[in-house]
Structure 1
């Protein structure tokens, strides 16, 4: 019985792919995971910042860490980055989708370009990532996916229709993926971080929840949206 309560926050020890990892919630999640020994692949659109972030994590925590620059709006770029990641970090067992854009325009300012950018950055990559890494995750015990559903934003997006649609679609997609991937032993959950994303405390709290959801300790949690910060 006592063995059942042994801390398992650092297991599984498989590699983790994190999008939007050069800053904000993504970088905080990468640090939290590296702190318990998990190798991390940082993906971001900013080449200089993601390279520096990966170097900093490796220097601080001593775990394998790589930084790759790509445009998540392009599915073929995700496929190419996945190949690079597999070469550098064999044994990918988790994904964190933290990349996101917020268009601050109201209904009157919404256009097709902004809509496409919002959906193709915040929502569609989650589906593509699950497809591209399906075999990788299925080969590892305890694999899991976590996606951010509302980056520092209350439900309704403050009257922002594009962000509301993109972020609001994440929990529904998470539940669909969780139902489908359960047969492969892969859990899928969402984190809604309502804290001010500009504060270190808010990002750290969300990152710790992500780390928990990817660990063996959360093995009984699936298809859920965890709200951080009330």
Structure 2
């Protein structure tokens, strides 16, 4: 098993959107940051809301890990550069990037959606990942390689979403991942995508979630078990680690099997 190690000791990782809104459980970014730290990585927790990033930093440090919090808007190139420089200035290297920032974006079909809100949604959900990679890749190359994990969505893999922006942007993330995997393989940089299903996170709660809707979401899968940010974070931590050394360009649904079936049999429990 030479070269394969789950341990990330001595590695440095950036997680964007590493904070978490107030609410039950944790967001995908916070869970990923904490689990990467538990595997030994040192974390740069970046978020547009510094207080949320600081909370994640404190959680990591309370468990004996190392982390710093950075307030940043990943739609701004200068902020993306600053996030990467925070990692290299503090620890002298960068080994992993988790592009986690994303929004639901504006509602509506092509007829209904506001064009300015559409452009902003694409900027947040797609362009920000390109910008972070733009500055992270040279730092990873200098470290001898690394891993990038982009957070997509099952909405980017199948139809049926009521709005146009969200599935369009997440579909772009899926194919951006494949393109990046080819572009950066020569530098020893693996690029993969995690596509969460209907996980229950503080962000979902903030949008309004009745008990009935929550139960319906739980049942729209094979396992019929509610997922959380921890499930997404576990997949991210695996893809950043050495046990995933032979994986790049992979699109990994974390959805309790929702995308594995065309329709849910009534007798599945």
TM score, norm. by length of structure 1: 0.90
Alignment: residue pair count: 226
Question: Is the alpha carbon distance of 1:141 and 1:83 closer, same or farther for their aligned partners in structure 2, counting shifts above 3 Å?
Answer: closer
Deviations 1:17-72 (A, max 9, x none): 00111021000100110111110101111111111221221122x22201111111
Q: Is it true that 1:205 corresponds to 2:231 in the alignment?
A: yes
How many Å apart are 1:201 and its aligned residue? Answer: 4.3
RMSD: 2.2
Q: Which residue of 1 aligns with 2:250?
A: 224
Task: Give 5+ residue unaligned stretches, structure 2.
Answer: 21-26, 203-225, 258-269
Q: Is it true that 1:163 corresponds to 2:160 in the alignment?
A: no
Q: Which residue of 2 aligns with 1:42?
A: 45
Q: Which residue of 2 aligns with 1:9?
A: 6
Flag the structure with larger Rg: 2
How many Å apart are 1:142 and its aligned residue? Answer: 4.8
Deviations 1:104-149 (A, max 9, x none): 5112441122112211111112211111012211122451100111
How many Å apart are 1:186 and its aligned residue? Answer: 0.4
Query: Take 1:197 and 1:153, find their aligned partners in 2: how far apart are those partners?
Result: 18
TM score, norm. by length of structure 2: 0.78
Matches within 5 A, 1:78-157: 78-103=80-105, 105-107=107-109, 108-150=111-153, 155-156=158-159
The list of structure 1 runs, each at least 4 consecutive aligned residues, that deviate by more than 3 angstroms after superposition, is 151-154
Q: Is the 8 A contact 1:178 1:189 kept in 2?
A: yes
| Larger helix proportion of the pair | 1
Query: Take 1:79 and 1:7, find their aligned partners in 2: how far apart are those partners?
Result: 31
Q: Is it true that 1:178 corresponds to 2:175 in the alignment?
A: no
Q: Which residue of 1 aligns with 2:217?
A: none
